[in-house]
Structure 1
Amino acid sequence: MADYSNFTDVETLALMKAGDERALTHIYNKYWEGLFVSVHNILKDQQACEDIIQEIFIKLWDKRGSLEISISLKAYLFASCRYEVFRQIKTQKVQVAIFDGLEERLHAPSAYGSLEHKELLQQINSIVDALPEKCREVYKLSREENLSHKEIAEKLNISTKTVENHMTRALSQLRGSLGGLLTIEVITWLMKNH
């Protein structure tokens, strides 16, 4: 029995294309975890992530006869996952937690210099600036000064429930407005920056 760990991806792929199911299993075992982490960074939904990755490998097997991979197998699999995530988000087949913690990711050191990063940050700033005054004030105290809901309530002399309502409204506005910005490039960037 062949020891697939000694084969290169090109050799393993050739065996899979010839109908060797164990070669497919080896490819799956080798890349499954990295693909899962990458997809989970966007969807935050274990079942949806597993479904997407399973679909990628089913397609890989089904199309093995006509498969032409001009880049590395790893790059091909990750690109396939990005496009499947993008497709599922656009067709609203998955509930997306993409905006949860988005600001933190945008302010991560690795994010600077990227065009997608700058565009997203500009878009977020313009959405926040358009919020009603009190809602904007609450959002900025939470995100920019990292104050808790209780601290914001005390500072603004309002109830914590009111703070929660303002935050819910601000985040809802952000999610709604940013939905149109979900391009494959943005998804690619977000999958890299987790």
Structure 2
Amino acid sequence: MHELLLNDIQLIDRLKQDDEVALSCIYKKYWQPLYLAAYHVIKDKQICEDIIQDLFIKLWNKRQSIEITVTLKAYLYASVRYEVYRQIRAGTVRCEIYDDLVARLHTPAGYGTIEYKELIAQISSIVDKLPEKCREVYKLSREENMSHKQIASHLNISSKTVENHLTKALRLLRTSLSAEVLMLILHQVIKK
């Protein structure tokens, strides 16, 4: 059990010497928080488990050549962020995830930053280009926090039509926002 008392630098050094116990210690120390960070974004147990499992497999397979220039914790969280980003960009996760990420930006935590203001401006610009009804549905949903049922009643349309408009809006947002912006969002959500 004394291996659990080793610091991350010692664990990486032992990992590079093919020490499986070091990998086990890193796994025990970081598996759950990394999984929770990924799950906080993706909300899919199986995909998150696969992401974390693949991360530790890669860590073991690249143990001889791995160069960590930051803390092990920062390296692992960055790896999770990039894999979550890849999953979102590849479309292997549901569209609601992207919507949830954008919704999280509307929290007071990021209001003062230049990046936040630029991101909100970019999102607003994309939303303004939506067809009128689609834009109206999106704004009622995101700015007025109305449910699908409330929007349907308010606009005298079906809930399915509301869902279709939101899907269209989120698809356009997902494809229009640059990779840098998506990484900014993930960086705000998955912190080390």
Q: Distance in 2 between matches of 1:78 and 1:63?
A: 17
Instruction: Give 1:94's aligned amino acid.
Output: T
- The equivalent of 1:151 in structure 2 is 150
Q: Distance in 2 between matches of 1:174 and 1:93?
A: 13
Q: Distance in 1 between matches of 2:11 and 2:144?
A: 52
Deviations 1:46-91 (A, max 9, x none): 222222222222222222223332221111211222233344545x
- The equivalent of 1:32 in structure 2 is 31
Q: CA deviation at 1:125?
A: 0.9
Against the structure 1 CA distance between its residues 152 and 96, is the aligned structure 2 distance closer, same or farther, given a 3 Å change threshold? closer
SS in 1 for 2:99: coil
Q: Alignment length, in residue pairs? A: 191
Moved more, 136-145 or 148-157: 148-157
Q: Distance in 1 between matches of 2:67 and 2:183?
A: 22
Q: CA deviation at 1:141?
A: 1.6
Q: Does 1:61 align with 2:64?
A: no
- The equivalent of 2:93 in structure 1 is 95
SS in 2 for 1:113: coil
Instruction: Give 2:92's aligned amino acid.
Output: V
Judge conservation of contact 1:138–1:166 (CA < 8 Å) in 2. yes
- The equivalent of 1:11 in structure 2 is 10
Judge conservation of contact 2:102–2:185 (CA < 8 Å) in 1. no
Deviations 1:89-113 (A, max 9, x none): 45x2733544132342011122223
Q: Distance in 2 between matches of 1:139 and 1:176?
A: 16
Against the structure 1 CA distance between its residues 99 and 184, is the aligned structure 2 distance closer, same or farther, given a 3 Å change threshold? closer
Q: List runs of 5+ in structure 2 lacking aligned partners.
A: none
Judge conservation of contact 1:48–1:94 (CA < 8 Å) in 2. no
Against the structure 1 CA distance between its residues 152 and 63, is the aligned structure 2 distance closer, same or farther, given a 3 Å change threshold? closer
Q: List runs of 5+ in structure 1 lacking aligned partners.
A: none
Greater gyration radius: 1
- The equivalent of 2:103 in structure 1 is 104
- The equivalent of 1:74 in structure 2 is 73
Against the structure 1 CA distance between its residues 35 and 121, is the aligned structure 2 distance closer, same or farther, given a 3 Å change threshold? same
Instruction: Give 2:81's aligned amino acid.
Output: R
SS in 1 for 2:190: helix
TM-score, normalised relative to structure 1: 0.81
Q: Distance in 1 between matches of 2:132 and 2:185?
A: 29
Against the structure 1 CA distance between its residues 38 and 115, is the aligned structure 2 distance closer, same or farther, given a 3 Å change threshold? farther
Judge conservation of contact 1:17–1:65 (CA < 8 Å) in 2. yes
Judge conservation of contact 1:149–1:163 (CA < 8 Å) in 2. yes
Identity score, percent: 54
